[in-house]
Chain A
């Protein structure tokens, strides 16, 4: 009869596992798992919040979650679909018309909106007695600030908008849907949709644009977009494709994906190594248990129990740590982030657990499968390791998941494939470099270290690959951030022009510029503006000579602004040819590319039915994102200087210079002043937010990388414990041991750091060129920073481990 105290034994096995976790046998694996989970939780939580914020910002600038635009009235089918999908929507009709006051008239951009406009973002209207309003009501008319001076009106005056006569309700303080194109912007007026018919603006053939703003769940929006087939002159506007901020947001989102991927990769390397360490440490126990008759099934259950327990503990601790980390990461963002942050829900935790599981499966699974094959005889005799191919199929698990998750993200694939190719190259380059070093004469400690690295070549190569790989990844994270921010700061500098003055008559030009200079207003050079069309390339009519694809190029469909100058603007970069002084034109590179225009081609143009030709002397790169006057075609003065032109100048108005701006408006009523201060401020705010977010994310990426490298080195030192302890027992001094370790790990760190920088430069170069479509550059500072950082990590890990290493054998 069995004893009453007999139980299944599961309790004891559980106690055993818990004790092993508590006593630290499983800590290296746990630490790697916790690190992966914490990093992924923190990064993805922050990424989700940043992405939501960026999306919200983008959407607030387009007044909705999604906008449909069309040259014809909005199809009823689309609206009924939206209704069925539970989406809120609001209609807008915009057209250009003349506004007449008692004394003046002005071409305006009229927007007839519903009271629900805007669905996102802020519309700030300031009415009588500075009363703030946020929507347009029937019978109201709201004017852009500068229209008050242009039309010489006040609140309460009557203005005719087309055929309708409306009373001015107040001024538009701030509105979403701002554009940056100085040539297309004209002052806005807001009226209510119900007053639209009174204006008589909607007539057959009139140029009207209809927009419908949608707000609702992303799924419903996607369904609406996917279920509607666009007709000619229709289109969707979303935060991913609208104007200036879209590019910013898209690149920031790509960077987020990239950072998370890199952190995961770094953590995976550590997890793989810690798991191998864990499995090799278990071999003796497994052999002993087998000698006592443990079946494979029992061993599997025991090991799985331990792994599940370890995973659950790591998930709990990692999630808590991740939450703390996210909180810490947000500290520098206080003041930039809104008080009410969007929630991230369960997604980061599920994502972190899935990532840890997907990486953990092969990382832990493969060595565990091999561990189960440990022979019982290993309890008495050292055994040759079992088949190195066993369990490799487990790698397919994360590979398939990766394929499904990142299937269509070209940027991530580019990095991933690059990394795989680089992995071996990195390891072998570092090893080759060390081999080269070992040819020279060194002091004994260094010679010993180099010979040890050479002797255990496989292990050294693995260590070097892990070290240089991790260093490379963290260098890439930081460099991509630096390059992205550099590009944004360059194209959207805080001191960019915020006012454009156009339609300056030639007679006014000198006086106008002098006035700006006298008031110490920073300004661009003045550009003459002549509107015209491109008609022929090398004597061939565009309609007959170009392909259908080429005929869609937008510069062919409308009059564009030409200018002439003695030299090219300094912010334009010549990509081919060079600026000459006579009978020449410089072409912007995207137009040149689209129309196959090359240096030396002869182009014909038409301005007010007057035809003329010029030879292409150069192709220029233009940053359209920058708030600078930019042109597709810049001529030498002899070609078009004789044609009638008006002038344009851009300048920056500081807060205290606003009265000067108002005075300029009064002194030169025919000059149109386009005020981008509010828009510029909004973009600068977004840029500031994104800059901070990316810096914090990159910082976290680098910190994770440093921690992972630290863990790697600690593991490696732990594997050396026995050997070093033996040296110590035999009487080796602390100095000798430290020196040998320093030489071995120091030389590895420098070699890995150097190789990592070379590889990082290569990856960042391709990422910038092919992924982000930006100009790549070299980062000399990194060539010193990375090896020094590697040395510092080596120093920290040696210092933290040396006491334990120096304990003699008992």
Chain B
């Protein structure tokens, strides 16, 4: 078996609210291997998104250690963690998070520019074509529907050939039919690009499409 691409060891996360410490995640350990698709499920407020922010290096745990692509995140500073993200990680968020003043094409190109790869217009166009948005390159997000915006976000996520894709409730803002289309696309692209997928969802049916499902409850993680 290959080496884990993500490794969480005794990870805890707590926050201070009204001068009281609230534990969100408590002593969580698990591993994700390359090209796996892993679903993290749980009810609202269970700590799914918090876990994702820790796994992706957007935040650091209060206790424990996370190794991303073999590198312990706690030993890296903000800039080093950002570098890992730009080189190896893609995101798809529930609220799409496209830059409103950039066109669909430019939104897709953006991660490449951040990584210092420059404007690879052809690749971006290909990606837009692969998500069914050929001809919509010059449209601004406001001129696209919710489903179309999420397709642009998908294309953007794959622009830098990430090793890991984090998808946080990617269909939470979409109607059922559009959501199904987006999920099909997500899994298809994941397969085509040999990406490891970490899918955050509260939808148990959707989780079943993944290789493994991890459930969070009261700050504890359980493999289903």
Interface residues of A (CB under 8 A from B): 2-3, 5-9, 11-13, 15-16, 19-20, 23, 25, 285, 288-296, 298, 375-377, 379-381
B111 CB to closest chain A CB (Å) equals: 5
| Other-chain residue from A2, A23, A25, A377 in contact with B58 (beta carbon distance below 8 A) | A377
User: Chain A interface: which of B1-9, B84-92, B182-190?
Assistant: B84-92
Cβ-defined contact, B109 with A290, below 8 A: no
CB-CB nearest 3 A-B residue pairs: A293-B86, A9-B113, A293-B85
Interface residues of B (CB under 8 A from A): 49, 53, 56, 58-59, 78-79, 82-87, 89, 91, 93, 97, 99, 101-102, 106, 109-115, 117-123, 168
Give the complex CA separation of A377 and B93 in angstroms.
12
Cβ-defined contact, B120 with A6, below 8 A: yes
Cβ-defined contact, B97 with A288, below 8 A: yes
**Can you show 13 pairs from A to B with CB atoms below 8 A apart?**
A5-B122, A9-B112, A9-B117, A9-B119, A12-B119, A16-B99, A292-B85, A293-B87, A293-B114, A294-B114, A296-B79, A377-B53, A377-B58
Residues in B neighbouring A3, C-beta threshold 8 A: 120-123
Give the complex CA separation of A16 and B99 in angstroms.
10
A544 CB to closest chain B CB (Å) equals: 80
| Other-chain residue from B82, B84, B87, B112 in contact with A290 (beta carbon distance below 8 A) | B82
Cβ-defined contact, B87 with A380, below 8 A: no
| Other-chain residue from A19, A20, A376, A381 in contact with B82 (beta carbon distance below 8 A) | A376
Give the complex CA separation of A23 and B143 in angstroms.
15
Cβ-defined contact, B119 with A6, below 8 A: yes
Secondary structure type dominating chain B contacts: helix
Nearest-CB residue, chain B, relative to A379 = B97
A386 CB to closest chain B CB (Å) equals: 12
Cβ-defined contact, B119 with A11, below 8 A: yes
Cβ-defined contact, A13 with B113, below 8 A: yes
A400 CB to closest chain B CB (Å) equals: 32
Give the complex CA separation of A482 and B58 in angstroms.
61
| Other-chain residue from B59, B110, B111 in contact with A377 (beta carbon distance below 8 A) | B59
Cβ-defined contact, A380 with B101, below 8 A: no
Cβ-defined contact, B58 with A379, below 8 A: yes
Nearest-CB residue, chain A, relative to B168 = A380
| Other-chain residue from A6, A11, A16, A289 in contact with B114 (beta carbon distance below 8 A) | A289
Residues in B neighbouring A375, C-beta threshold 8 A: 58-59
Cβ-defined contact, B111 with A292, below 8 A: yes
Q: Beyond A16-B99, A294-B114: 5 further Cβ-contacts under 8 Å?
A: A9-B117, A12-B109, A291-B85, A292-B91, A380-B53
Residues in A neighbouring B79, C-beta threshold 8 A: 295-296
Nearest-CB residue, chain B, relative to A24 = B101
Cβ-defined contact, A2 with B99, below 8 A: no
Give the complex CA separation of A376 and B78 in angstroms.
9
Cβ-defined contact, B118 with A16, below 8 A: no
Cβ-defined contact, A9 with B109, below 8 A: yes
Residues in B neighbouring A290, C-beta threshold 8 A: 82
Cβ-defined contact, B111 with A293, below 8 A: yes
Cβ-defined contact, B106 with A12, below 8 A: yes
Give the complex CA separation of A294 and B93 in angstroms.
17
Residues in B neighbouring A294, C-beta threshold 8 A: 82, 86, 114
Residues in A neighbouring B121, C-beta threshold 8 A: 3, 5-6
Cβ-defined contact, B114 with A288, below 8 A: no
Cβ-defined contact, A5 with B119, below 8 A: yes
Residues in B neighbouring A11, C-beta threshold 8 A: 119
Residues in A neighbouring B111, C-beta threshold 8 A: 292-293
- With A294-B86, A376-B82 as contacts: A9 and B118 at CB distance below 8 Å: yes
Residues in B neighbouring A7, C-beta threshold 8 A: 118-119
Cβ-defined contact, A380 with B113, below 8 A: no
Cβ-defined contact, A285 with B58, below 8 A: no
Give the complex CA separation of A6 and B117 in angstroms.
8
Give the complex CA separation of A661 and B78 in angstroms.
92
B11 CB to closest chain A CB (Å) equals: 15
Cβ-defined contact, B120 with A5, below 8 A: yes
Nearest-CB residue, chain B, relative to A284 = B97
Residue of A7, A288, A380, A381 with most partner-chain B CB within 10 A:
A380
Residues in A neighbouring B93, C-beta threshold 8 A: 379-380
Residues in B neighbouring A296, C-beta threshold 8 A: 78-79, 82
Nearest-CB residue, chain A, relative to B84 = A293
B34 CB to closest chain A CB (Å) equals: 20
Cβ-defined contact, B122 with A285, below 8 A: no
Residues in B neighbouring A13, C-beta threshold 8 A: 113
Give the complex CA separation of A141 and B91 in angstroms.
98
Give the complex CA separation of A5 and B49 in angstroms.
37
Give the complex CA separation of A13 and B112 in angstroms.
12
B159 CB to closest chain A CB (Å) equals: 10
Residues in B neighbouring A291, C-beta threshold 8 A: 56, 58, 85, 91
Cβ-defined contact, A298 with B123, below 8 A: no
Give the complex CA separation of A23 and B123 in angstroms.
28
| Other-chain residue from B83, B85, B91, B113 in contact with A12 (beta carbon distance below 8 A) | B113
Nearest-CB residue, chain A, relative to B123 = A3
Cβ-defined contact, A16 with B59, below 8 A: no
B110 CB to closest chain A CB (Å) equals: 7
Cβ-defined contact, B49 with A380, below 8 A: yes
A301 CB to closest chain B CB (Å) equals: 11
Residues in A neighbouring B58, C-beta threshold 8 A: 291, 375-377, 379-380
B71 CB to closest chain A CB (Å) equals: 14
Residues in A neighbouring B97, C-beta threshold 8 A: 288, 379
A374 CB to closest chain B CB (Å) equals: 11
A188 CB to closest chain B CB (Å) equals: 75
Give the complex CA separation of A12 and B120 in angstroms.
11
Residues in A neighbouring B122, C-beta threshold 8 A: 3, 5
Nearest-CB residue, chain B, relative to A9 = B113
Give the complex CA separation of A408 and B121 in angstroms.
59
Residues in B neighbouring A9, C-beta threshold 8 A: 109, 112-113, 117-119
Residues in B neighbouring A25, C-beta threshold 8 A: 101
Residues in B neighbouring A288, C-beta threshold 8 A: 97, 99
Residues in A neighbouring B56, C-beta threshold 8 A: 291
Give the complex CA separation of A11 and B113 in angstroms.
11
Nearest-CB residue, chain A, relative to B117 = A6
Residues in B neighbouring A293, C-beta threshold 8 A: 82-87, 89, 111, 114-115
- With A3-B120, A16-B101, A288-B99 as contacts: A295 and B53 at CB distance below 8 Å: no
Cβ-defined contact, B82 with A295, below 8 A: yes
Give the complex CA separation of A287 and B82 in angstroms.
11
Cβ-defined contact, B118 with A2, below 8 A: yes
Give the complex CA separation of A25 and B100 in angstroms.
10
Cβ-defined contact, B120 with A295, below 8 A: no
Give the complex CA separation of A295 and B101 in angstroms.
21
Residues in A neighbouring B168, C-beta threshold 8 A: 380
- With A16-B101, A376-B58, A380-B93 as contacts: A292 and B120 at CB distance below 8 Å: no
- With A9-B118, A291-B58, A293-B111 as contacts: A20 and B101 at CB distance below 8 Å: yes
A119 CB to closest chain B CB (Å) equals: 62
Give the complex CA separation of A7 and B168 in angstroms.
31
Residues in A neighbouring B109, C-beta threshold 8 A: 9, 12
